[in-house]
Amino acid sequence: MTKIPRRSVLGGLGLIGFGSVAGGVGTRALLSDTEEVAVIATAGELDIQLDWKAFHNGTQIAMQAPADTSGQVAAHFTDIKPGDAGCFSLSIHNETNPAYVWLAMDIEHETDGGDQPQDDPHESECPPVEYPWVCGQTTTDGSVTIANDGGTLIVEIESASGQSLGETHLHITDSIESIPGGPSPGQFDYSHENIDATTDTYEIPFENSNYSLSCGDTPVIAVHAEELDGEETCWAGATEVNSGQGGSWALAIDHTIDCCSPTELAQPAEEYSLADRILLDAFWDTNGDCKIDSDDTVLFRDITLRNLANNIAPSTGGIMPEWDIDGTQNFSLLWRIPKAVGNEIQGDELTISFHAYAEQRRHNVDPTNPWV
Mean pLDDT of the chain, nearest integer:
77
Residues 6+ apart with CB under 8 A from 278: 304, 305, 335, 336, 337
354-365 tens-digit pLDDT: 888 888 888 888
The pLDDT confidence band at residue 270, using thresholds 50, 70 and 90, is low
Return the domain boundaries, the chain: 48-115+273-360, 129-266
Residue 148 has pLDDT above 70, yes or no: yes
Are 189 and 203 in contact by the 8 Å Cβ rule? The answer is: no
Tens-digit pLDDT profile for residues 231-253: 788 999 988 886 544 457 899 99
For 107, what's the count of Cα atoms within 13 Å in the CB-facing half-sphere?
17
Residue 211 is predicted with a pLDDT of 74
Quote the strand ranges of 258-364, DSSP E: 279-284, 297-304, 327-336, 349-360
Give the DSSP letter string of 133-147.
EEETTEEEEEEEEEE
Tell me how far apart the alpha carbons of residues 45 and 43 are, in angstroms, rounded to a whole number: 7
Reported confidence tier of residue 304, pLDDT bands at 50, 70, 90? very high
For residue 183, whether the previous peptide bond is cis, meaning omega lies within 30 degrees of 0, is: yes
Mean pLDDT of 25-53: 55
CB atoms closer than 10 angstroms to residue 67: 11
* Residue 274 banded pLDDT, cuts 50, 70, 90: confident
Reading phi first (left if > 0) and then psi (alpha if -120 to 50, else beta), residue 175 is in beta
pLDDT, tens digit, for every residue of 80-119? Answer: 889 999 999 998 888 778 888 888 888 887 877 655 444 4
User: What phi and psi values does residue 229 have, to the nearest 5 degrees?
Assistant: -100, 5
Region 118-145: mean pLDDT is 75
The C-alpha atoms of residue 357 and residue 321 are separated, in whole angstroms, by 11
User: Would you identify the CATH topology of the domain 129-266?
Assistant: Immunoglobulin-like (2.60.40)
State pTM to two decimals.
0.50
214, 255, 260, 312 from 206: Cα distances, Å: 6, 15, 14, 52
Whole-number pLDDT of residue 45: 56
Mean pLDDT in residue range 278-296: 93
Mean pLDDT lowest among 20-29, 226-235, 339-348: 20-29
Tell me what pLDDT residue 8 has. Answer: 22
Quick one: pLDDT at residue 351? 85
Judge contact between 367 and 292, C-beta under 8 A: no
The span from the first CA to the last CA of the chain, in angstroms, equals 91
